[in-house]
Amino acid sequence: MRILENAADKIREFNNYPDRLRESYHNVLTERRGRKSFVSENGDTSDRHLYLIDRALRSYFMMNRGNRMGGSESFVSKLGNILRDNETKNILAQIRDLTITAHNLQEYKLNSENLYESFSNPEHGLSADGTYFCVGATKVLHCLFPELFVMLD
């Protein structure tokens, strides 16, 4: 796959970028405290975790270039509203303990597509400027479920 060509060089270049605040992404990974995701058994996510994701997206992943995310309060509010939708909570609860090595991932393909669409959709998604938030959506999915979703640029 083309995305994997020169992967080691790409990772080194990414990690050596001088302005990346690695702590924000590290906090996303460690705050789970051994859990596979930021999602509870009933599909809830805490505001604290949403703010950690917001900070990582803005600093380490530099997703707010051109003010694509808008302000933190607005972004966290949009993300929280999407995640509190009953259908979305049901999906979150179903996949909360999955990892990328699960043998039955195909069963969750439609759910994953629905989550991605809800985050990336230009009309009701996460972008502040009404454009697709495709790369940001993969990063949000990864931050919520680091052991399940791989980020794609």
Task: Give 77-107 pLDDT, tens digit per residue.
Answer: 999 999 999 999 999 999 999 999 999 999 9
Query: Does the reported pTM lie above 0.95?
Result: no
pLDDT at 80: 98
Closest CA to 131 of 143, 115, 119: 119
Closest CA to 128 of 45, 67, 56, 57: 67
Closest CA to 113 of 95, 131, 97, 86: 95
Sign of CA dihedral 66, 69, 73, 74: positive
How far is it, in rounded angstroms, from Cα 78 to Cα 97? 24
Q: Which two tokens stand for residue 126?
A: 């996460």
Q: Low-confidence residues of the chain, pLDDT below 70?
A: 1-4, 11, 14-20, 152-153
